[in-house]
Every structure is written in structure tokens, then in C-alpha cells.
Structure 1
Amino acid sequence: MIAALNRLVDHVERHLTGELDVAGLAAAAGTTEYHLRRMFSSLAGMPLSEYVRRRRMTVAAADVVQGTDDLLSIAVRYGYTSTEAFGRAFRAVHGAAPGDVRRDGGPLRTQPQVRFRLTVEGSNPMDTRIVERPAFRLIGHTARVPLIHHGVNPHIQAHIAALPQTEHVRLKALSGTEPGGLLQVTDDVDPDATEGTELTYLHGVAVGQASAVPEDLDAIEVAAGRWAVFRTSGPFPQTLQSTWAATATEWFPSNPWRLRPGPSIVSILDRAADFTTATCELWLPVEPAS
């Protein structure tokens, strides 16, 4: 995976003024575009799309400062159809308009070329199991919320708090298959995992595929397949989020599995009364890497 990510970075450099073929590059590396984008985002700390934009604007800044071409020509060279669109992207990276930078020579903010390297980590074993599950349903109450990487998501918190206590009891009684108990489900996540993009959050339970869905509940159909299940215990949600990050930095690079499209599921097995600590299982949909 480290080699595939570095080949992706090299591909970006060769195509800063052209089209990227991420799907083709992923296929040549024996993986999928979905998995490659998710791993890039997790390890680089930014979505691939954001990295490409920053690199393009870093290189485009030299063309702007040199002043040998008009701004429209530069915009088209880097894939923009107008000086307005190019100007918005340029300002987002450099904090100044292209015309101002051409006149003043700055300010300029450089995005260095990313390079992935293997480091020796993994001193803390990860408690993991691989589970094969038939198709099932997730039922409960859904909401569209923004993706937040660190800390408590207040939108999810508000969604759960709006449900009466009797509803939590009712949902738990409906649980009919693994993952067991009340579940925190994220679905429709952008493959780049861009912070702030919307996802579907479901607070509910898992039931068999043939189970009827109460009219007042939403449902997510889950395809049959394998799951990597990571058990965590400690401060909540910090321990869970750290484990989630470690799946990308440690577990996937060390194991012959890759992510496949599907919901991510957190099962709360046990928790303190004030929810400051919890024992959880993180379920990620996976498939063999080759």
C-alpha cells in the first residue's frame, strides 16, 4: 500500500495540468479507487482532491508570478474553465488573488510533495477478528450530518439526544443479529473522507434481511461480505477515534485486506453512566486485497 500511495503521488505530479486516472492506477496496484482514496486521506491528513488542488495552485503560482502568460491561459492549463474559478481556487490556497500575487510577488503558500514512508510502529497489538456475514439490515433513525474527525460530533449528539429514552429501549429490543446492541452507523461517506462533507448517520440496530421494518424507522440494506471487527476500550470517543485512525496507519498496511464500500458500524458493548469511557466494536467492511 505504501508503494501504491507513492505511485499515486508521482501520478499527480505528472498530471498537474491534465486528468488523473486514479481508478486505473488503483487497478494496476491490485486495489480499488475507493480503498486508495480512503488510505490517502487517512495517512496524508487531507483528501486526495484537496492535495491535488494545493499542488496545482503551488505550481501555478510560479506561472502567475513569472507573468509571461495571461491569467486565462494559466487557468485553462490547470483545468479551470474561467479566471473566476481559477481565482477562487488560488485564493483558497494562497490567501490572495492571482492578480495581487502577480503584482506583489506574494503571499504564497507552498504545498510540498507528499511522500509516504514505512515507520516502525505497532507496539500496541490491535484486538481484531474477521467475520463473514450474510446480508442484513440496519434499522433506526437516520440524519444527514457533517463529517467531524476529532472529538464529539455535536450534530450526532443532538440527533441521539432528541430521541426519548423509551425509543432507545425499543430499538435495543429489536436487535436481531450481529453486530449486537445499539449501533452508531455512518454511511454514504465521501471516499476522500473530507471533513465537513455530509454523511448518513443511523442510530439503531441490526436485523436479519427478512425482518420487517417498522413504518416509523429508516433502513439501510447491507450486502453480504466480510468485516474486520476492532475491539476498543477506554476514554470515549478518543480511544475509538484513535483505533479508527490506526486501522489506516497500521492494520491495513500490515494485513491482506482492503476496504470495500459499505457502512461503518460502532457497537457499544459497555459504557460508563456518563459515557466518558466505553468498550466498543468497530466494524469495517473489507475484502481480500488481491
Structure 2
Amino acid sequence: MSLTNRALWTIDRNLGRDLSLAGIAEACGVSRHHLAHTFREVAGRPVMDYVRGRRLSDAAKALAGGAGDILDLALESGYASHEAFSRAFRAQFGATPEAIRRRGSTQGLVLAEPMIAPSRTAPPLPPPRIEAAGEILAAGLGQRCAFEDGPTITGLWRRFGPRFGEVGNRVQPIPIGVVADPDDEGRFAYLAAAEVRDFFGVPSDFERLRIPSRDYAVFAHDDHVSTIRQTYGAIWNEWLPDNGKTLAEAPTIERHMPTFDTRTGYGGLEIWIPLG
């Protein structure tokens, strides 16, 4: 069973209990960082968004069936008050809990039903090399993104490219991308950056990130850069669990190859996956 389907099973089996991203990840034997990446990529929505959708959908069915006390239903759905539950319910369905109870039907509501992650053919992954890296210092332009925000990341690189030469003390003549700090809603920090020896030659408006030393599984992505999500999905959902590895709570690094062509998106890059 894939990691995403293990998470889906855990959620639906425990929907009436306290659920958090960290708790679901622990039940699946992976880090919250690993689960956040994988679930959003494969299921198409953040973990806790799916949990809320499932709980509110079950609540809608109960209301349509004549459930009496909305506060009890709110508490069962993980909300501390009638007001918080009603806000979330209306945001999800465009109607109040009272309206659905009066209507006695969920017709017209888009309910979140239990799902099974679709099987799909993963791109062939050549065996990675395992590499120990010392501390990495990165400096550049950053932005919080969602996993599907390819155009946002492309725009970030477009802004950073002309300023790469402003960075002093560069370790490599080629920039790196850094993926870090995913949250419960499936967003993460992306940094288009230069790897530097120290931060003294860095423009004042650049973000600075110090990445501790650790081991990485290094994967080659030789296809067009626009297909990189497929490679990530295969790594997170299949290679890591199949090989008994876990994604550490640490940044992932994208290193462009010397042959990478910014005009065409071809030329290849490496994905450095931090191992727990």
C-alpha cells in the first residue's frame, strides 16, 4: 500500500478522534514533512484539508438526517464552538448547518467522500546515490507556495536570475532551489538561491538560510523541469517507503546541472532528498 493510501486509511479509521498532521505522520511511520509533501502531490489537497472536508461532509449527512444538537455535532467534528463550526460549514458548502437540517437533504452539496489514491505509473527512477553533505549556506529570493504553484516558482526564478551575480562568496557558479518548511495546509517556502561560503557578500534584501549537515539521497531528474513534480511524487510516495527510508524535517535542495538551459528547461537537475 502506498504512503498516501496508508494515510487515507488512518484518517478514515480515526475520523472521530483527535487528528493532526504530526499524529497521522507518526501512525504512517514518516515525518510530517514527508507526509505533507506526498499527500498533497498524490491526493491533490493538503492532509488537514481532507480531514476537515471528511468531517464536515459526515456532519452534513447527519444534519440532513435530522441531527438535533448542532453544538454536539460541532464538538464531534473537532470544533470548539457552534460559531467556529458554522463558519467552516458555510465556507465548505455555501449553506448554514441549520439550512441543511431544515432542507433534510445533502443534494447539491459537494461532499468529501472516502477516497483511495489512484494508482499511476511512476517515472523510472535510477537508483540514487547517498551523499553526506556538510553545512550549506543559501541566500536568495523566497516565497511561500503551494505544491501546484509552478508558475509562481518560475516567476521567482525569473526575478532572481538577473541578481545572481550580486551575490559574493558563491560556492558554485550555478544557483540552487531550496524547498523548506511545509505547513498543515500544504504550502511551503521556496528559495531561489546561491550557495555561499558566508553571508557577508549577500544583498541586504535577500533571505538567508543555514542548512545543517546531513545525508541525502540524490536523484537525477533528466526530463523537462516542468515534470519535476512527477519525480518528487515517485520519490515521496514509493521510493522512500519501499526502501525503508524517511524524509527528514529538513530542506530539500534542487541543484541544476551545468548543462541546464534556462531558455528551454532542459539539461537536467538533481534533487537532494534529506534522509531522517
TM-score w.r.t. structure 2 length?
0.81
- Alignment partner for residue 227 of structure 1, among 216, 239, 259? 216
CA distance in 1, matches of 2:247, 2:239: 11
Residue type matched to 2:236 in 1? Answer: A
* SS of aligned partner of 1:250: helix
Partner of 2:111: 110
CA distance in 2, matches of 1:184, 1:62: 45
1:91-240 correspondence to structure 2 within 5 Å: 91-104=90-103, 105-106=105-106, 107-115=108-116, 121-122=121-122, 124-126=124-126, 128-139=128-139, 141-149=140-148, 151-153=150-152, 156-163=153-160, 165=162, 167-171=163-167, 174-176=169-171, 181-190=174-183, 192=184, 194=186, 197=187, 199-208=188-197, 211-214=198-201, 216=203, 217-236=206-225, 238-240=226-228
Does 1:243 find its partner at 2:267? no
CA distance in 2, matches of 1:200, 1:183: 14
| Deviation (angstroms), 1:220 | 0.7
Offset from partner CA, 1:92-137 (integer Å, 9 cap, x none): 33333222222222333332223458x5845723352221112221
CA distance in 2, matches of 1:52, 1:28: 15
Does 1:260 find its partner at 2:230? no
Residue type matched to 1:94 in 2? Answer: F
Q: Unaligned 5+ residue runs, structure 2?
A: none
| Deviation (angstroms), 1:268 | 1.8
Q: Is the strand fraction higher in 1 or 2?
A: 1
**Which stretch shows the higher mean deviation, 199-208 or 54-63?**
199-208
**Which stretch shows the higher mean deviation, 13-22 or 90-99?**
13-22
Residue type matched to 2:79 in 1? Answer: Y
| Deviation (angstroms), 1:57 | 1.1
| Deviation (angstroms), 1:26 | 4.7
| Deviation (angstroms), 1:181 | 1.9
**Which stretch shows the higher mean deviation, 45-54 or 242-251?**
242-251
Offset from partner CA, 1:139-177 (integer Å, 9 cap, x none): 2x2333332415322xx4444444573x32344x73326
| Deviation (angstroms), 1:222 | 0.7
Q: Unaligned 5+ residue runs, structure 1?
A: none
| Deviation (angstroms), 1:264 | 2.0
CA distance in 2, matches of 1:87, 1:48: 21
Residue type matched to 2:114 in 1? Answer: Q
CA distance in 2, matches of 1:123, 1:264: 19
Residue type matched to 1:233 in 2? Answer: D
Does 1:284 find its partner at 2:273? yes
CA distance in 2, matches of 1:274, 1:256: 38
Residue type matched to 1:221 in 2? Answer: R
1:36-51 correspondence to structure 2 within 5 Å: 36-51=35-50
TM-score w.r.t. structure 1 length?
0.78
Work out the percentage of aligned pairs sharing the same amino acid. 27
| Deviation (angstroms), 1:7 | 5.4
| Deviation (angstroms), 1:226 | 1.0
Aligned pair in 2 of structure 1 residues 253, 121: CA closer, same or farther (>3 Å)? farther
| Deviation (angstroms), 1:193 | 6.0
Superposed CA RMSD:
3.1
- 1:135–1:224 CA contact under 8 A, matched in 2: yes
CA distance in 1, matches of 2:20, 2:160: 45
| Deviation (angstroms), 1:263 | 1.6
Aligned pairs, number: 271
